[in-house]
Amino acid sequence: MSGPVHLAALSATPLSVATVDPFVIATGQARATRSVLVQVQLKRGGKTADGLGEGSCLPPVTREDQPQALEAVLRSRSTLVGSMWDDTARMGQDLDAILAHWPVARSAVEVAILDAWAKLDGQPLYQWLGGPKVTPVLETDITLPILPVARMLELARQWWGKGFRSFKVKVGKSLREDLLVLRALVREYPDMRLRLDGNAGQSPEDALTIIRELYASHAFLECYEQPCAALGDCARVVKDLEVPVVLDESVKHVSELKVALTHGAATGVNLKIAKSGGLLEALAIGRAAALAGISVMVGGMLETRLGMSAATHLAAALGGVDFCDLDTAWLLETDPFLGGYEADGPRYTLHPTPGLGVRLKGAAAR
């Protein structure tokens, strides 16, 4: 970073892209992304760079929905435009002063600014954030939302044929149907690596029933993402069957990670830019988790290629992580963006271009 940057322009629009199938989880569902697209322009000296950021809403997981997030960004524009920053700490303080109560909105603005700032410095964002000089190849899972059992099996066959081997299976609507689909998956794909996700919507009894069933069938269970809402219930799952439990909804900030570890409620944490109000807080959680010796997952809400590229840069800035859940762009009917990463099935390689390396289709790069 050489010299202060000046925020010259900021705009925001809704970003709604339909999903191929309903994105159903234990606590809600969506038929399209409910994101906010933020575009900024930063200046330094005679140089100018544009930045893009996506903030994804997924109520009730996120505090705000798309209309509230969009309004918050637009309301912040008159205060933020014209700001100058020497470092990201000062930038973060200014964003907190205006958008602290709107984490999705804040995350979109922050990512757009970081994208442009890294471009001004001529570095890929993950390197600008202190990541390795050599881009790690990251392997993502693919998500099976809660759908009729036959459709979930059809999707599993489709993704298996494209090279995916780690499957995040959403559970928590019906224990009976959860068991039916898991039995069928294990029977058809005994080598499938399973990551279950209860989205904080299960009882510990139901989660333990599923785990016992999978252990009895010798399934490859990599982790169980936030089965229960209460930390004490998650701690029970960790203790009773020693299953790796990755917290998501309960950990949005570094302070919450410390509380969760005190309760013995987690062996890992899922980093999400939107829930933490920005990439920098998610990065801080990841570094704290590494120091604590627990596993790290990087995921998202329901984002396009833009949001998934930011999450991929987050994972790369950490030097790689234990679990990548960077798949939601695969679940959409269309892709309004270019760049960011190259995908060879589940394997992602980041573009070596400055910033996020993402641009809107039909837009000139700058």
DSSP 124-159: BHHHHTT--SSPPPEEB-EEE-S--HHHHHHHHHHH
pLDDT in tens, 103-129: 999 999 999 999 999 999 999 999 999
196 vs 167: CA distance, rounded Å: 8
Report the pLDDT value the prediction gives residue 1, as an integer from 0 to 100. 54
Report the pLDDT value the prediction gives residue 250, as an integer from 0 to 100. 97
Q: Are 25 and 104 in contact (CB under 8 A)?
A: no
How far apart, in Å, are the Cα atoms of 73 and each of 95, 155, 360?
A: 10, 37, 20
Running DSSP on this structure, what letter comes out for residue 277? T
**Mean pLDDT computed over every residue of the chain:** 96
Residues of the chain with pLDDT under 70: 1, 363-366
Is-above-0.95 flag for pTM?
yes
Report the pLDDT value the prediction gives residue 363, as an integer from 0 to 100. 67
Residue 94 dihedral angles phi and psi, to the nearest 5° = -65, -40
Q: Are 344 and 350 in contact (CB under 8 A)?
A: no
Q: Residue 170 class from Cβ within 10 Å (0-12 exposed, 13-18 middle, 19+ buried)?
A: buried
6 vs 261: CA distance, rounded Å: 40
CA atoms within 13 A on the CB side of 69: 31
Strands (E), the chain: 5-15, 18-25, 28-32, 34-44, 47-57, 84-85, 138-139, 142-144, 166-170, 193-197, 220-225, 245-247, 268-271, 295-298, 323-324, 337-339, 341-344, 347-350, 358-360
Q: Are 69 and 133 in contact (CB under 8 A)?
A: no
Identify the CA nearest to 13 among candidates 59, 63, 42, 53.
53
Domains and CATH numbers, the chain: 5-122 (3.30.390.10), 138-360 (3.20.20.120)
Other CB atoms within 10 A of residue 21 CB: 16
pLDDT in tens, 49-81: 999 999 999 998 898 999 999 999 999 999 999
pLDDT in tens, 78-109: 999 999 999 999 999 999 999 999 999 999 99
